Chain A
Amino acid sequence: MELLVALMVGVLVAASVHLMLARNVLRFIFGLVLISNAANLTIFVSGRLTPESPPLIPEGATTPVADAANALPQALVLTAIVIGFGLFAFALTLVYRTYQNLGTLNSDEMRLAEPLESKPSAAKQVAEKQYIARDTTS
């Protein structure tokens, strides 16, 4: 099973890299979610898979049964899932906000800070107008 999961992790990673290379930042976010899952599975599988024997200490005993699952990767993955979710939530908010302010999800057009002099985009013009408006109102 471990080898098959390893193969599947490869597919997950390939899919997420493909998504993260897209110019649409929403696809980038999808890639982020997938690669988080891939990373968690990597940690989990590295600690080997043990079917149906959770790392719990039975009632009355002081140590778990002899062939219980590896507890350490589980603890690590738990932490990673939560942090991955925090990252995802923030990134999604950022994308949402960016779209509201710049009117685009295309990362190539988000060049307000580092404009390409040769081809000013629609987003840049909009954003510049906003900044000028801010300066004059404040």
Chain B
Amino acid sequence: MAEGGAEVPRLAGGPAGWVSVAIPTALFVWFAQFLPAVAAGQTPLIGFDWVPSMGIRLEMLIDGLSLTFALLITGIGTLVTLYTTSYLGKHPEYPRFVLYLMTFMVGMLGLVLADNLIALFVFWEVTTISSYLLIGFTSDSAKSRRSALQALLVTGTGGLALLAGMILLGQAAGTYSLAEIRQMGDAIRNHDHYIPILILFLAGAFTKSAQFPFHFWLPNAMAAPTPVSAYLHSATMVKGGVYLMARMNPTLGGTEPWFWALVIAGGFTTVFASVLAIRQTDVKQVLAYTTLMALGALTLFIGAGSSDAIKAAMIFLVVHSLYKAALFLMIGIVDHETGSREVADLRGLARKMPVTFLAGALAAISMAGIPPFFGFIGKEFLYKAGLEAETAQLWITGTIFAASVLMFVAAGIAVARPFLGRLPEKFKDVHEGPIAMWIGPFLLGALSLYFGIFSDIPEIWLVGPATDAVYGADVSVDLYLFREVNAAFILSMITFAVGFVLYLMHARIRDALAAIIQANPLKFDPGWDRTLDGVKALAEFQTRYLQSGVLTRYVFIIFATFAATTGFTLWAQDALNFQLDIAAELDGLLFKHWAVLVFITAGAILTALTRSRMTAIAALGVVGIGVALLFIMFSAPDVAITQLLVETLVVVLVAVAMLKLPHLGVRTSEPNRPVHAMLSIAVGTVTTLVLVAVLQTDLDLRLTEYFNATSYYEAFGSNIVNVILVDFRALDTFGEIAVVVIAALSAYALLRGTRYGAIREDDT
């Protein structure tokens, strides 16, 4: 195999490499077969019953939106896994990486295809967990671990909110099927729980898609290997939140709260992120922040909600996935070959890495929005939708204009800076990356150009059906590069002019921004650390407080809880509303009854109050014997015999132990004695009240009558108590014997002692 297979073009990474490429390829082809049906307006549902008892059915909803996502996931997935065979193929943990990546892909496909809300949540969490594992892949790095945990906690918290929102929505709609929920938009929007549902869903979507103020985890997530950044944190996973908002648009969208929440958060995120993108010196970080910008723009336009805005969002979704994945992969190749991603280091690499440059340039031109690339169409439609918006027109247009200008600059920083100019001496020996690496970005970049020129193809197959699905009604989608000189076109020209000027000045702008950001006291990342520290301190405080390790405090809490809750229940259930017949109670009471009651009571009080060990043991004995007498007087001879036996043993054991134990000492020095005394009286009172309340109710004798009637016929015994113990409830008795045996064995183990138990005697 090793030599015979030489003529076959082999992938690095062994079988894991082949499998990781083959799976997404096969899935891509499988999903592609649905294109004609979906383009014709059908929504195939494929599924089976998952948890029939709870009405949970696992169903795949394939419509324009989910199919567009599925094709992006599997298509970009194919290119990314191919790239990874070369990028990480020699890594000793490569198979583990492939496992995580495949897990993620399955989760992400499930997320966009699930028709059931609960299934959607499960897949949502699968992507969160696999993202955690992938960000933390270089687990020996503390930064990587921290970033992974941060991403997990932020998106995981959002996921919990989402689950709550989904359950509320499921309750409100009476179904968990998205296909059905989509039909009842008005009912949901007028439901009492609409606002909580909206808040919970947006909490999930905003954390997943890193909208301000939950944005900080995404740039940190770039600690992951570059293929992960390209795949999860740019092209697919972070768009999960966008997908959710798009999916819920027909159900939750179109209201004032929805509009303002999305438009404000999205618009702010998009400008904020593009400003921060310019500030970065690491090309990967530049790309990370422009990803935030794109997510903000998508949120903004889904929120704007007009058919034009949805159309623009769907175009931009495809545009961005293509060029951003390509750019991440490109900087990965540069990093792989030169060992640097710093803007200041990288110059003139075009001569050494021409194909990578070509791929990067294609993507960057699309990102800058220059015709005839697909990115230009995307930007034109964003502008058009912004200019024609009925509400908040200035905000939408303004933010997207500012973001587009800065994207132009960022595109220049990401590609023009590293590849153009003079090649520094230290990069003389740099060479082109392997084909497995550059084929991905090259294809994606080329697709950005192809979709721009032949805009019919994405229009018919992807954007059109997706827009219909999100808008909830048919929208005519007609993509074009250029029709006429209109406001959007003029705005595009201004974008290029301003962007070009800013690009020339970008080094100075970056320094100025760095100074401003340095001076800004509000920092999210350190704030995150402080929040985590606060949570830990709170946990420590409450653990110290509740789990104090002080026995008396535990006992106090247990009894106080018992007294409070039981007392409250008695009061709340009105159980104390009874009449006591004192005369009947005292009638017929003999001297022996009085004597036993007095003995037991006196013995108990004496045990509690005495300072002498011997008195305590004797008083305990009195109580025990008294209880045995009570059993005898009230027709329980078997119980009385056992009680006598046990009581004798108790006294003997305590007396033996006393030989080795010190005297009791006084309790007056102990703190909180009045509080303890009050609690004791309270618990005693509550117990008596419960017992009296129980005695006021009618006794249910069904079990006793059953035992009385059957013990002779079925168990052939005439002592009913014995029959119950050894026959009817024999398993209980067996358990009881087991308890006694375990107690005896444990006691034996304790008494036998351990090796180090003897040391103390030498010590003292």
Contacts and interface: CB of A to CB of B under 8 A. Distances in A.
A34 B609 CA distance: 13
Nearest to A131: B756
A11 to B, nearest CB: 5
A78 B681 contact: no
Contacts of A96: 657, 660-661, 750-751
A129 B725 contact: no
Interface residues on A, range: 35 or more
B634 A101 contact: no
A95 to B, nearest CB: 7
Contact of A55 (B687, B708, B753): B708
Contact of B639 (A2, A25, A81, A87): A81
Interface in A97-137: 97, 99-101, 103, 105, 107-108, 110-111, 113-114, 116, 126, 129-131, 133-134, 137
A90 B695 contact: no
A14 B756 CA distance: 40
Q: Would you call the interface of chain B mostly helix, strand, loop, or mixed?
A: helix
Contact of A78 (B582, B642, B661): B642
B653 A7 contact: no
A67 to B, nearest CB: 10
B761 to A, nearest CB: 9
Contacts, number: 300
Contacts of B703: 72
Nearest to B751: A93
Contacts of B724: 71-72, 75
A74 to B, nearest CB: 5
Interface stretch (B43-51, B308-316, B546-554): B546-554
Given A24-B665, A94-B750, A6 B695 contact: yes
Interface residues of B, number: 101
Contact of A6 (B667, B692, B755): B692
B664 A85 contact: no
Interface string A53-72: 11111110111100011111
Given A75-B721, A101-B757, A21 B556 contact: yes
Contacts of B257: none
Contacts of A46: 691, 694-695
Interface string A10-26: 11111111111111111
Given A33-B650, A71-B707, A130-B760, A78 B639 contact: yes
Most B CB contacts (10 A, CB to CB) among A19, A30, A44, A130 go to: A30
Contact of B704 (A3, A72, A131): A72
B631 interface: yes
Contacts of A44: 630-631, 634, 636, 639
Interface string B677-700: 101110111011001101100010
Given A10-B687, A97-B750, A100-B660, A107 B636 contact: no
Given A5-B597, A33-B620, A62-B713, A88 B664 contact: no
Interface of B: 547, 549-552, 555-556, 559, 580, 582, 585, 589, 593, 597, 600-601, 604-605, 607-608, 613, 616, 620, 623-624, 627, 630-631, 633-639, 642-643, 646, 649-650, 653-654, 657, 660-662, 664-665, 667, 670, 676-677, 679-681, 683-685, 687-688, 691-692, 694-695, 699, 701, 703-704, 707-709, 711-713, 718-721, 724-725, 729, 732-733, 736, 739-740, 742-744, 746-747, 750-751, 753, 755-757, 759-760, 763-764
15 contacts: A3-B585, A6-B695, A10-B687, A14-B684, A15-B607, A26-B661, A54-B636, A74-B638, A78-B725, A82-B642, A82-B736, A83-B736, A83-B739, A89-B747, A100-B760
